[in-house]
Amino acid sequence: MNVQDGIQTHRAFIALGSNVGDRVEMIEKACLELDRAGIKVKRTSSLFETTPMYVLDQGTFLNGVCEVISPKNTLLSSSLLFGSNVNSQKVETTLAPMGLLDALQSIENTLGRMKLIDKGPRSIDLDILLYDQEIFSHERLNVPHNLMLERDFVLRPLCQLIPHERPPQSEKNSKTYMDYLKALPPPEPTPYSTTPISPSFPTIYATDPKRNTHVMAIMNLTPDSFSDGGKHVPSDMTYITETVRDFIAHGATIIDIGGESTRPGSTPVGAEEEIARVVPAIKHIRTSIPEASKIAISIDTYRASVAEAACAAGADIINDVSAGTLDPEMLPTAARIGKSIILMHMRGTPQTMTQLTDYPNGVIPSVAAELRERIEAAEEAGVRRWRIILDPGLGFAKTQPEDLEILRDLSRLRETEGLDCFPWLMGPSRKRFIGHITGVKTPRERVWGTAATVSASVAGGADIVRVHDVHEMWQVAKVADAIHRV
């Protein structure tokens, strides 16, 4: 038992599973219901695509684990808010394990779970794995969960949350949960972490070694971007149509739309102007360009109000260069509207970041530590781990040697504890460090240098490359995939 803000609380870990219908939606609804019931979802694991056990003739599962904090005394609603016809009843519980079990089963029932076959298909499955450090036995419940140490699909996500903890009442020299996971035979097929984007866009499997790299095309609807400022005029829908069609024809699967430059020393324009630039373009793409129905749209903004307006217009991803540091409402907004968000590493603001490039502990450990802090902030705001994409921020509060070190050691950054299983975006396109190395002063002429950085990004494990020169970089990524993604 813990004490939080003067209130006694319990910490529990709950397994999440679904293999019927929209699995991500069902798991996300279950997490919302936990929060509504006063059982705060503190952290989540990734969601892993796993094959079924026992009853093999059923669809693949999404499995994950969440850490929850529940107060000692609370009121739980047994009819929750997704069209249930059951009359709302409040049941007081101390949230001992049995009270928590009742709450979970109430949520399962509200979300329409029907258990027709033991260990068979189910739209939602919520199981208590751990409850504080208690050992508890009842005909309806055993804690720790009886088979959790034998199941990869339980231990894999659990180890993202508490890899170095030990089962209840274990000796200090006994095995950790990570030790138990490593001792299991490798599952076949390997479970892959999943990052949903939209119903019409393929899920990103960041741990699948055979995945293809997504090409994100840059569309800056700004007059002052460092490379293509003024090229795409927000009011010229004919030009936007032609540009989007060209992007798609040449391999782009994501279009990143921005209404304010974040180049070093850029001048902010304000939310209203930014919305006026991006929202009409996004609406136009979604309503008037049939070819764009299966591509994802990303909104490049650090303002919550712009992100929300853009997503309401049809954007699928929020791309925040500040990872939520420049607008305190960004992370709660992303959580509330349920969109995936790119958290980029940056220090300061676009106006000050060039003065914040000191990394005495090394750029890789420092970026890793600072990104972990932003992940924690996102989770505290309610953003689920499977909705997060990471970006090390090439050119943002980095010197040329630091940019090169990130490109050289991206795989080490990706494999750092706490950063594993996330998708990664790399944005090296036409950056200043390429010009310094090559002597090419004009950003639009840095195509060959950019090609080298895109190839290095794919080799390091990037899932998305953000580029200006779509046709050329699609070819680079395609060949790099053929070399490295085997």
| DSSP result, 217-264 | EEEE--S--TTTTTTS-TT-HHHHHHHHHHHHHTT-SEEEEESS--ST
pLDDT string in tens for the chain (486-residue length)? 565 555 678 999 999 999 999 999 999 999 999 999 999 999 999 999 998 877 766 789 999 999 999 866 544 443 333 333 333 333 333 457 899 999 999 999 999 876 666 666 889 999 999 999 999 999 999 999 999 999 999 999 999 999 999 999 877 778 999 999 999 999 999 999 999 999 999 999 999 999 999 999 999 998 754 445 455 566 789 999 999 999 999 999 999 999 997 766 667 788 999 999 999 999 999 999 999 999 999 999 999 999 999 999 999 999 999 999 999 999 999 999 999 999 999 999 988 999 999 999 999 999 999 999 999 999 999 999 999 999 999 999 999 999 999 999 999 999 999 999 999 999 999 999 999 999 999 999 999 999 999 999 999 999 999 999 999 999 999 999 999 998
pTM of the model: 0.91
d(CA 388, CA 430): 25
Range list of H helices, 409-445: 410-414, 432-438
Residue 350 DSSP symbol: T
State the pLDDT at residue 115: 63
Measure the CA–CA gap between 344 and 412, rounded to whole angstroms. 17
What pLDDT is stored for residue 389 in this prediction?
98
- What number of CA atoms fall less than 13 Å from residue 369's CA on the CB side? 8
Exposed, middle or buried, 371 (CB in 10 Å: 0-12/13-18/19+)? buried
Q: Domain ranges in the chain?
A: 9-73+88-190, 195-484
Choosing from 431, 432, 444, 446, which is the catalytic residue? Answer: 431
Active site annotation includes 119:
no
- From residue 454, how far is each of 79, 175, 409 by CA, in Å? 51, 41, 14
195-484: CATH, from 3.40.50.2000, 3.20.20.20, 3.30.70.260, 2.70.98.10: 3.20.20.20
What is the residue whose two structure tokens read 């991206």? 410
Note if 115 is an active site residue.
no
Q: Retrieve residue 99's tokens.
A: 């009270």
Could you tell me which residues are beta bridge partners of residue 47?
A: 194
Into which CATH architecture does domain 9-73+88-190 fall? 2-Layer Sandwich (3.30)
Looking at residue 90, what is its pLDDT?
Answer: 35
Return the SS3 of 4. strand
Output the pLDDT for position 58: 75
The pLDDT assigned to 347 comes to 96
- Give the length of the chain: 486
420 close to 160: Cβ distance less than 8 angstroms: yes
Q: Return the pLDDT at 278.
A: 96
Same fold: 9-73+88-190 with 195-484? no
Secondary structure of the chain: what % helix, strand, coil (to 5)? 35, 20, 45
Q: With H, G, I as helix, E, B as strand and everything else as coil, classify residue 395.
A: coil
How many CB atoms sit inside 10 A of residue 281's CB? 28
Closest-CA residue to 216 (of 340, 304, 302): 340
